[in-house]
Amino acid sequence: MASISFRYILLLILLAPLSVHLADRVRVLSLAYYNAPGRMPQHANFSSYDVKFRHEIRSCEDVLLLESRRVALLACDAGRETWNTVMGFFPAGLGVDANAELYAYHYDEPDANALKRIDIVGLDSELRTIGFDFDEASGTLLVTNHPHQGGPSIEQFRLDLDTLTATHVRTISHPLINIPNSIAMRGPTQFFVTNNHRFTPARNRLLWFLETYLAPPLATVVHVSVLPSGELDVAVVAHQAYPNGAALFSNKSTVAVSSTNQRLVYIYALEEETGSSASVHPKLRLQNTIRDLPFLPDNLAVTEDDALLMAGHPHLPSLEPFCQSRYICNRPEILAQRGDEAAKMCQETRAASWASEWTADGGLRHIYAGWDYGTSASVVRRREHGVGIVAGLYEKGILVWRD
């Protein structure tokens, strides 16, 4: 009898972590029910909004706000419709699209003059963007790149905001920067990079699928230090499940990293070592966790008053067919070949967006949630200027709100 009781207790001890993990997976997947069309809450906590530049730009995953110049920088890649290394969409037989582009949106100017393309000079390779960051003091712009050939990298540019010219400086690559997604710069020579997965869908789709849906902490956050010689000193500073967006708070000693497939955001304190043998890489100590977000968080940003902005995807069953259909719906030559059924599909397929802000004192506040503008991947805001922007992973244009 005692032996049976011991085995029973041992079984419970072994099963307890599994049951907790399964409960967590159910909590994440429950968004498919609670945020289904007709059931998802709607939010629009601003005075007015408009979707701008639908015919000029699309698939602008990341956006940065330069408050001093009243400018938003955008990284837009229509080629994501045929080459998405994060979500694993690779429609066959379509070739390689034109390079991704960078834009400056002057949000206080009339729309006719507000959007300007940034000239990219000296880059001789393919450019497929995901995330980027900019150190305004030095003019250093870092852009993640996932080309068809050669493996992922980070492209370094010198960005002149007066002439809107980005001059390529060099390509940064390292074995620890294996699937770069988001960049958070501490200055021109130090930055964090999230690697969103351990496995890629292009190399091993089964392991990538299991990693995405089972959420083991196999992916990494790395810290990069550029030495005076120009060499890289790179170290893993955290392991996470699906680390996606990253953003530094104004003190530069706290960093937030979203975990997309865990429906939460981690906030880490950066602890610097001292002494002659100190590492150039800070240690990350978990300080706070923002749990039970009503969406799967993508990119992060921090406002001038240290509110954490986050945008993401509230309904995965709608997101995937929307993303997979854009190479048909956004390309007239392909849509014309698919007939009336495809045209109807393009009219009916929608995706949702959700953007929120969080503060330690006030908690979570929702800014926008709805189906009018889909696939939200980034949100930025300047409260003093009464303006905010949501950028969609696969949407046409950008959503601009006013207060």
Q: What are phi and psi of 343, to 5 degrees?
A: -60, -40
Q: C-alpha 337: how far from its chain's center? A: 33
Q: C-alpha 101: how far from its chain's center? A: 17
Q: What is the CA radius of gyration of the chain?
A: 21
- Provide the edge-to-edge strand list for the sheet that holds 60-66: 60-66, 71-76, 101-106, 115-121, 165-172, 153-160, 140-145, 129-135
- For position 91, what pLDDT does the model report? 86
- For position 3, what pLDDT does the model report? 54
- Spatial distance between the Cα atoms of 233 and 213, rounded to a whole number of angstroms: 32
- For position 370, what pLDDT does the model report? 96
Tens-digit pLDDT profile for residues 131-173: 999 999 999 999 999 999 888 999 999 999 999 999 999 999 9
- For position 342, what pLDDT does the model report? 92
Q: Is 298 flagged in the annotation as binding?
A: yes
- Spatial distance between the Cα atoms of 324 and 375, rounded to a whole number of angstroms: 12
- Spatial distance between the Cα atoms of 127 and 124, rounded to a whole number of angstroms: 9
Which residues of the chain are under the pLDDT cut of 70?
1-25, 275-278
Q: Is 340 flagged in the annotation as binding?
A: no
Q: Which of 194, 190, 323, 205 is nearest to 253 (CA)?
A: 190
- For position 303, what pLDDT does the model report? 94
String of DSSP letters for 85-100: TTTTB--TT---PPPP
Q: Is 244 flagged in the annotation as binding?
A: yes
- For position 1, what pLDDT does the model report? 47
- Provide the edge-to-edge strand list for the sheet that holds 308-313: 43-44, 363-370, 353-359, 308-313, 296-302
DSSP one-letter code for 84: B
Q: Is 62 flagged in the annotation as binding?
A: yes
Instruction: Tell me whether strands 115-121 and 165-172 are parallel, antiparallel or unpaired.
Output: parallel
